[in-house]
């Protein structure tokens, strides 16, 4: 489908989805002490359905078509091209944490694309495969120590505060868990819920921020961290927003500059996690243009951390995806970070 932009109002007139509006009406009916029939809420389900369609229109847009319709031959230009500060809005393990990999536990920093991890599917142990891997810095971790069935403490695992963990009530962020609560535990073929003996916060005081890793897995998005079932997913449906910087080094072919912000929007207008969004933009640029290098850096604030959960108002998440010379050559990477005014590591 042609990757053209659609205004919210167009959805109201042309793409009304009565089923989706019905679901939003059901949500309103479950809010305590609220009247979904009052004047101000009568049309809210329809508006909410239209807004959701607008915010997820990226599924109907073809990023390859978007890029290929604006590629130009420019044999003499082979220097770096950067489009900075692209605004976007879109609906993440410490490096030494042990992850339950097939063949034996591995540190998160040693997990690579293609690694098979253990997970649970309908209560049974299954395997899932890592298809993307990204790292970032975090100022705070949550330490969870479960009780074994015999009452002895289990191994402590460390997660970022927003990392989802399965509980009897459903998925909960690690930062919301408390001592005495229960989490799903699957050290072998059978799963059960075990009590948390202790939950502690650990901050990067007087030291460098923690290096943490995120993995996207298929066919199952869940995986076990030292026996505890965890998830990297888009489970809150709350927006994250910020700026995206895209750079590439051409090999005789350049792309119309306006297509780069449009490409960011194609992927941002989907249900996303920042880590995957960063890599998807870089991968498609690399595949279609086949340049000497591509780099994508995203800086974002997440409403799921600001208005709920840990309620941290000033934290910012930075992710990067580097390909070709940006990944292989430190000088090229340092030049990019200097131009972006982001300290290279």
User: Of these residues, 61, 163, 224, 236, which one is catalytic?
Assistant: 236
Sign (positive or negative) of CA dihedral 219, 221, 222, 224? positive
3-state SS track over 101-129: ECCCCEEHHHCCCCCEEEEEECCEEEEEE
User: Of these residues, 116, 195, 234, 299, which one is catalytic?
Assistant: 234
User: Of these residues, 16, 124, 233, 287, which one is catalytic?
Assistant: 233
Q: Is 243 a catalytic residue?
A: no
Q: Is 235 a catalytic residue?
A: yes
Q: How far apart are CA 166 and CA 152, in angstroms?
A: 21
| Nearest C-alpha neighbor of 66 from the set 310, 266, 338 | 266
Q: How far apart are CA 269 and CA 55, in angstroms?
A: 5
Paired strand residues for 2: none
| Contact between residue 8 and residue 50 where contact means Cβ atoms under 8 Å apart | yes
Angle of helix 259-268 relative to helix 274-289, nearest 10 degrees? 140
User: Of these residues, 107, 182, 304, 327, which one is catalytic?
Assistant: 304
Q: Is 218 a catalytic residue?
A: no
Paired strand residues for 254: 72
Residue with tokens 């003996």: 197
Q: Is 107 a catalytic residue?
A: no
Q: Is 147 a catalytic residue?
A: no
User: Of these residues, 274, 275, 280, 325, which one is catalytic?
Assistant: 274
CA atoms within 13 A on the CB side of 199: 17
Q: Is 234 a catalytic residue?
A: yes
Assigned token pair, 126:
């299954």
User: Of these residues, 235, 243, 327, 335, which one is catalytic?
Assistant: 235
Q: Is 121 a catalytic residue?
A: no
The residues assigned a catalytic role are 233-236, 274, 302, 304
């Amino acid at each position: 489908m042609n990757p053209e932009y659609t205004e919210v109002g167009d959805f109201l007139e042309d793409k009304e989805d009565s089923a989706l509006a019905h679901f939003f009406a059901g949500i309103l009916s479950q809010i305590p002490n609220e009247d979904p029939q009052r004047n101000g809420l009568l049309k809210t389900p329809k508006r909410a359905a239209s807004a959701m369609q607008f915010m997820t229109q990226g599924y109907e847009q073809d990023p390859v078509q978007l890029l290929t319709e604006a590629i130009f031959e420019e044999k003499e230009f082979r220097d770096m091209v950067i489009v900075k500060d692209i605004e976007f809005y879109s609906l993440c393990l410490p490096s030494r944490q042990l992850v339950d990999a097939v063949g034996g536990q591995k540190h998160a920093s040693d997990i690579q694309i293609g690694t098979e991890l253990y997970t649970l599917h309908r209560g049974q142990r299954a395997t899932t495969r890592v298809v993307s891997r990204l790292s970032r810095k975090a100022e705070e971790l949550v330490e969870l120590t479960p009780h074994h069935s015999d009452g002895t403490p289990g191994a402590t695992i460390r997660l970022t505060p927003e990392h989802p963990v399965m509980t009897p009530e459903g998925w909960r962020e690690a930062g919301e868990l408390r001592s005495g609560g229960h989490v799903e535990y699957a050290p072998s073929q059978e799963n059960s819920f075990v009590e948390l003996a202790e939950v502690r916060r650990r901050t990067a005081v007087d030291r460098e921020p923690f290096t943490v890793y995120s993995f996207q897995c298929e066919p199952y998005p869940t995986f076990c961290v030292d026996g505890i079932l965890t998830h990297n997913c888009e489970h809150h449906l709350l927006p994250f927003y910020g700026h995206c910087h895209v750079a590439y080094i051409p090999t005789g072919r350049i792309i119309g500059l306006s297509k780069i912000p449009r490409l960011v929007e194609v992927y941002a207008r989907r249900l996303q996690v920042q880590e995957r969004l960063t890599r998807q933009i870089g991968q498609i640029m690399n595949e279609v243009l086949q340049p000497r290098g591509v780099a994508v850096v995203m800086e974002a604030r997440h409403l799921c951390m600001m208005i709920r959960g840990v309620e941290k108002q000033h934290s910012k998440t930075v992710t990067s995806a580097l390909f070709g010379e940006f990944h292989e050559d430190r000088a090229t990477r340092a030049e990019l970070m200097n131009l972006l005014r982001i300290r290279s590591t």
